[in-house]
Structure 1
Amino acid sequence: MYDVRRLRLLRELARHGTIAATAEACNLSPSAVSQQLAQLEREVRTQLLVRDGRRVVLTEAARVLVAHTERVLAELEQARAEVAALSTSVRGTVRLSSFPSAAAALAAPAIAACRTSHPDLRVLLDEAEPEESISALRTRGSDLALVYEYNLLPRIRDKGITLQPLLQEPLLVALPPEGDAAAPAGPVSLTDLSTRPWIAPHSDTALRSVLERACQAAGFEPQLDYTSDDYTVIMSLVQAGLGLTLMPRLIAEPLATDVRLCEVSGLQLSRTVSVAVRAGSESEPTITALRAALREAAGGAL
């Protein structure tokens, strides 16, 4: 009989590539991961890992186990969900991870609605970016995650994760106030803004990549004079007339005071916000209740 916890570690190793990265993702020490995988090799009675410098390479036997592990874990999640669904009430604790703008616009009203509709349901919220949230889902550190995907970047692909889109929002160009004579009215073409300086996020590499790709699609390389990790600082720089920026609506609208927000013409730029859960867990009552509340919150967000 193979231990499910060890199979899950092998699956995470296949994803992360190193013992150290797997240990970090699973909140374990590298030595603990190594010991558990060594024990799994003894259970399987065949070699599963070959060291290649700092990385390890999975053998064919290991790859077979990983493929079966995805199906086994999904079946176990479904079994838990069906047993929990036998209860006549929604009760217990459910853990939600969310990136900041969705935490404010979607998670807060959804949690409040759940508190009213399901007083025996406790929702815990952690703030995290999509990659970290997906990792937490896989290792059972959270039960649901609010994640996003930009249409100009690769999409989330994970056999162990199910995504349900909640909303699609446009990316908006933030321009200085109306007093700026160079600021156009209505939707704007990025090509017409090619000579203007731009302001980009520093650590939000996804949004920065979208800004750069969008400008490249419009035929120019953006002149990035300023970067910041604080979106209020970015908006202040725009308001001061020091440059332009590109932001999803959920981020931009709460911060836009005197800043003008315009949609982009001639180029589709969007961000899809989804709720992610582990495959097989969709019918678990606490997850079903929170997903329904998130859908309702999304309906009123834009």
Structure 2
Amino acid sequence: MLDVHRLRLLRELSRQGTIAAAARVCSLTPSAVSQQLAVLEREAGTPLYFRDGRRLVLTEAARVLVEHTEHVLAELERARASVAALTSTVRGVLRLAAFPTAARVLAADAIARCRAAHPDLRVRLSEQETADAVESLRGGRIDVALVYEYSLLPAVREPAVETEPLLTEPLLLALPPGLAAGAGPLELASLADQPWIAASQDDALHQMLARACAAAGFAPRLDFTSSDYTVIFALVRAGLGVSIVPRLALESMSADVALRPVAELELTRTVSAAVRAGSRRGPQIAAMLTALHDVAAELPVTSGAADGSTPVEGDDGGR
């Protein structure tokens, strides 16, 4: 009989490539992971991996097991969700992860709505970027994650995770007032000589900016980075450079920053709710997904200063 816990460890080994990395993701010691995988090899009756330098390479038998493991884990999630759905009361603890902008703009109101509709449901919120949140979701440390992806970049699909798009927001150029003559869309090529400012922990945004600028015929000179959009807007206001920001970040914007759409490309960020495959019918998760969709539907992500160069007042920031 193959043990599901050990199959989960094999799945992590297939992703991480080393025992130490798989152990870190699973919150175990490397020796414990090695022992469990050795038992799994005996259960399977065949070698499951071999060493290639510092990394471990899965055998064909192991790859087959990993493929089936994804289906097994999803079916177990569906079974748990179906059993939980038999009760009429939404109760217990739900663990939600969100990147900072979504935590402020989406999660806060969604949690409040869940609390009002389901007083016995307790929601715990942690701030995590998309890659970390997906790892936490797969590892069972959270139940729902708010994640994002950008246009121009290939979509990354994780078989253990299902996503529900909540909103697609435009990306806008943030400019010092002196560069904002006129109104309407602005060509990226006109900013080729400007220094650029970007979110320091958003590698995907950096990649998208590089691709967009490459399409316009130049490579952006990245002079400043920050993990806080309040700082990014302050640097723009001071005339130290230009930036490209998601529409939801405008709540962080101070006065005297102008916004312009990009002329030649449709640049967007899609924000989604992610759950483990098979788990969305669970009462706690279903309640949170409903609240997130309701809050997202009310957000003016394409209104306000998105269509011109009018400065917008804001408060404090985050991605």
TM-score of the pair, normalised by structure 1: 0.95
Unpaired runs of at least 5, structure 1: none
Cα offset, 1:181, TM superposition: 5.6
Pair 1:109-2:109 in alignment: yes
Report Cα offsets for 1:156-209 as digits up to 9, x if no partner.
Answer: 2111111100000011100113xx166442221112222222222333221122
The percent of aligned pairs where both chains have the same amino acid is 60
Q: 1: distance between equivalents of 2:254 and 2:77? A: 43
Classify the secondary structure of the residue corresponding to 2:244: strand
1:226-241 equivalence runs, <5 A: 226-241=224-239
Classify the secondary structure of the residue corresponding to 2:147: strand
Q: Which residue of 1 aligns with 2:192?
A: 194
Cα offset, 1:228, TM superposition: 2.9
Q: Which residue of 1 aligns with 2:66?
A: 66
Cα offset, 1:212, TM superposition: 1.6
Q: 2: distance between equivalents of 1:183 and 1:212? A: 25
Q: Which residue of 1 aligns with 2:118?
A: 118
Q: 1:214 aligns with which of 212, 227, 230?
A: 212
Classify the secondary structure of the residue corresponding to 2:169: strand
Cα offset, 1:277, TM superposition: 0.6
Structure 1 residues 50 and 262: alpha-carbon distance in aligned structure 2, compared to 1, 3 A threshold: same
Q: 1: distance between equivalents of 2:280 and 2:200? A: 36
Assess if the C-alpha contact under 8 Å between 2:195 and 2:241 holds in 1: yes
RMSD between aligned alpha carbons? 1.4
Q: Which residue of 2 aligns with 1:262?
A: 260
Report Cα offsets for 1:6-28 as digits up to 9, x if no partner.
Answer: 10111111111111211121111
Name the amino acid aligned to 1:294. Answer: L
For structure 1, which segment, 5-14 or 182-191, has the greater mean C-alpha deviation from structure 2 after superposition?
A: 182-191
Q: Which residue of 1 aligns with 2:169?
A: 169
Cα offset, 1:247, TM superposition: 0.9
Report Cα offsets for 1:105-153 as digits up to 9, x if no partner.
Answer: 1000000000000001111111111111111111111111100010121
Q: Which residue of 2 aligns with 1:4?
A: 4
Unpaired runs of at least 5, structure 2: 302-319
Q: 2: distance between equivalents of 1:103 and 1:295? A: 14
For structure 1, which segment, 157-166 or 224-233, has the greater mean C-alpha deviation from structure 2 after superposition?
A: 224-233
Name the amino acid aligned to 2:245. Answer: M
Assess if the C-alpha contact under 8 Å between 1:172 and 1:252 holds in 2: no
Assess if the C-alpha contact under 8 Å between 2:169 and 2:247 holds in 1: yes
Cα offset, 1:44, TM superposition: 1.4
Deviating beyond 4 angstroms after TM superposition, the runs of 4 or more aligned structure 1 residues are none
Name the amino acid aligned to 1:218. Answer: A
Q: 2: distance between equivalents of 1:50 and 1:171? A: 46
TM-score of the pair, normalised by structure 2: 0.90
Name the amino acid aligned to 2:229. Answer: Y
